[in-house]
Amino acid sequence: MAEHVRRVSSNETCVHYLSKNVQNEFIAFLSGKIQNNILQQLHQATYYSVILDCTPNVSHIEQMTLLARFIKFEANKDVSIKEHFLSFVPVLHASGEGLTEILLKELEAQRIPLKSMRGQGYDNGSALKGKHVEVQRRILDLNPRAFYVPCGNHSLNLFVNDAALSCSIAADCFSTIQQIFNFFSSSMQRWGILLKHVSTLTVKPLCNTRWESRIEALLPLRFHIEEVYDAIYEASKEQKFDTYCRNTAIVLLNRLQSFKFLCCLVTWHGILHKVNMVSKLLQKVTIDLQSSMDLIKSVKTFLEGMRSDEGLNSIITDAKELAEKNGCCCRL
């Protein structure tokens, strides 16, 4: 290969096989080879489950992601669970009927028998999980042994989302965190002030789809709130900023001094830290139903512990420590 590149670079040959068409052809060959290997393992396993999800891409085209999950028996009699991506499929009609038709055509195109399906794994989207006319119901009508199991990770995410939206204090807390990020990220000068004060973690935006990922946005305020506070304070006194900017900084300073905000910050950091750990474990290929149930129960136990007198006292103590880091008397 090195000799080939040398000859092309020195103009000894014009046939270099490095055009985009040739590269795409190489990628297609590799893709086909890998996919055939996966399908060979699937056929040897006989039984399998499918995992589907739909999301729009950057071109605003809805795409269905198709994965297969099966058991592989090794030559040394070891047994392992395999989970492989099979394809992206463009979706024109995101209804239950349309998604079912696409799934059946894709299985047929890849010579995967529907009668060997033993499981369906989808998120909680209505077009997928519906009990009457949606995908899981239509597949069950064709193969009664293809049992449907909702995504435990997605269910956990919805639980956290609903819990937060049902509490105005939590909504205000996350709104403040997002506003702090917007305040600094919308100006290079303000971001420079932040970097001057924050030594390690910088502020981050909230994730709207995966709530457990919001732990990344809480970390800077949970452990470096005094540095973020100093950065906002400097911005509020900077005369080269306009009045609106300085007033915005003053509003954010008042919110950071609120004891209610600090208690909410401590509470949600604890919740999201626990949920994030469980979420990562639920995404493992080797996870099984019993382990998933145990993990969900551990979250429930943790939340019940936070409601106890000991848990509430711990939250108040941590909130007071944050107030002391700010060097101010919090507004109750």
Would you say 83 and 67 are in contact if contact means Cβ atoms under 8 Å apart?
yes
**At what angle are helices 309-326 and 259-282 packed, to 10 degrees?**
120
pLDDT of residue 296: 83
HSE at residue 7, side-chain half, CA atoms within 13 A, is 11
Q: What is the mean pLDDT of each run of 10 residues along the chain (332 residues)?
A: 86 81 90 91 90 78 86 81 88 82 89 91 73 80 88 77 83 90 90 86 80 82 87 89 90 88 88 84 80 85 84 82 65 41
Please name each of the domains of the chain with its CATH number.
26-150 (3.30.420), 156-326 (no CATH)
In the block, which residue shows the tokens 């198709």?
66
Instruction: Give pLDDT, residue 116.
Output: 92
Q: Is the pTM of this model over 0.85?
A: no
* One-letter amino acid for residue 114 of the chain: L
- Residue from 67, 239, 51, 226 nearest 148 by CA: 51
DSSP 66: E
Sign of the C-alpha dihedral, residues 31, 32, 33, 36?
Answer: positive
Only one residue has tokens 């492989």, namely: 84
φ, ψ of residue 46 in degrees (nearest 5): 75, -60
